[in-house]
Amino acid sequence: MDSLLTDLPAAFWAVPYAAARYPGSQAVAELPGLAPGANCQLFAYAVLAHYGLHVPEFRSSELWEDTAATVRVTAPRPLDLLLFNGTDDAYGAHVGICAGEDRVLHLCAEAGRPAVWSGADFAARERYRVLVGVKRVTAPT
């Protein structure tokens, strides 16, 4: 899906990073949408929803353990979720979306806005150096 990045509406590229705005948070309940900001999970799930895929309001460790809406895979393909952390623990892991060709679309505090990094970009950062694994959404919205 080479068009994943080019077909994403401009509003997605303007989303600011906001740690307190995660799936299921009070901040999101009070002010829905991405315009006020998002954490990595909220952003990733919104991108997937744009492409017709739904993930429940999982935090990273819940996503990793889930077997109803997602499955673990070894080789990522576009729209798969990638979990990164400083260790192989899914708790507190950073979530991005495979955009193909060693590209990961994600939102993090360091970049402040959505960014596309390579696997090497993640590996070069202590907090993201380990690819915990890859999850594929099993059913459309």
- State pTM to two decimals: 0.95
Instruction: Give the model's pLDDT for residue 139.
Output: 73
Whether the predicted pLDDT of 10 surpasses 90: yes
| Cβ-contact 80, 135 below 8 angstroms | yes
CA atoms in the 13 A half-sphere facing the CB of 130: 11
CB atoms within 10 A of CB 108: 23
The structural domains of the chain, ordered by start, are 3-137 (3.90.1720.10)
What does each C-alpha distance from 39 to 20, 49, 129 come to in angstroms? 7, 16, 19
In one-letter notation, the amino acid at residue 66 is: D
Tokens 């798969």, residue located: 80
What pLDDT, in 10s, does the model give residues 59-105? 999 999 999 999 999 999 999 999 999 999 999 999 999 999 999 99
